[in-house]
Amino acid sequence: MRVARTLFLSLLPLLAASTLASGMATVTLRGVNGASAEVAMHGAHVISFTPDDKSKPVIYTSPTAKFDSASAIRGGIPICFPQFGPRGALPAHGFSRKSDDWTLVSTDADLEEKNGSPAKAEFRLADTEATRASAWPHPFEALYQVSICDGALRTSFKVTNKGEEDFTFTCALHTYFACGSLNAAVIGLKGSSYEVDRVY
């Protein structure tokens, strides 16, 4: 069983590891003209994206966001998996957005643009003793990719069932967009199922 969702925004690549002032490890993709995207290892959470050095951030992260291993980061692109909202027996939005078990599986060869190929950071989350003891005890592998190429930030999420029994789940790449006013529009969802959440 697998699910994928893609978000397109904008740029071209290079990747570097860094650390926030809080001590939280991050991976930064950098593009031409000052474009950048930063991903926290905690929750494999995109916390910022700016399309170029003349633009304001497109992804919103709350100034009150907590960058610690016990908290979900408020804003950015949290990964809600294996449960979106209160639609199951797990705490709201599941365990992946607060997990420190995500690993970076990209290699140096993946981090450089070559012949038009994107720079990308791929993150992996698999079942652990803690997840198998939870209300969602299934063996799984989740792969999350963040890439930059040709003026676009792209994210994709894939779940693979590693067990013998079927399972169900809900998930969302719960994107927080930075808006200068309430006169905002989201396009490209025609024919898709979606749900409107709170607006801050």
Residue 116: the pLDDT is 64
Residue 123: the pLDDT is 96
Distance, in Å, from the CA atom of 161 to the CA atom of 9, rounded to the nearest integer, reads 30
Task: Render pLDDT for 125-166 as a digit per residue (tens, 0 to 9).
Answer: 999 999 999 999 999 999 999 987 766 788 999 999 999 999
Q: Identify the bridge partners of residue 19 per DSSP, sorted by sequence position.
A: 25
Which are the contacts of 64, defined by CB distance < 8 A and separation ≥ 6?
74
What values do phi and psi take at 42, rounded to 5? -65, 110
Provide mean pLDDT across the span 68-88.
91
Tokens read off for 3: 């699910």
Distance, in Å, from the CA atom of 200 to the CA atom of 191, rounded to the nearest integer, reads 26
Tell me if the pTM is above 0.85: no
Residue 86: the pLDDT is 85
pLDDT higher than 90, residue 110 = no
- Start-to-end C-alpha separation, the chain: 34
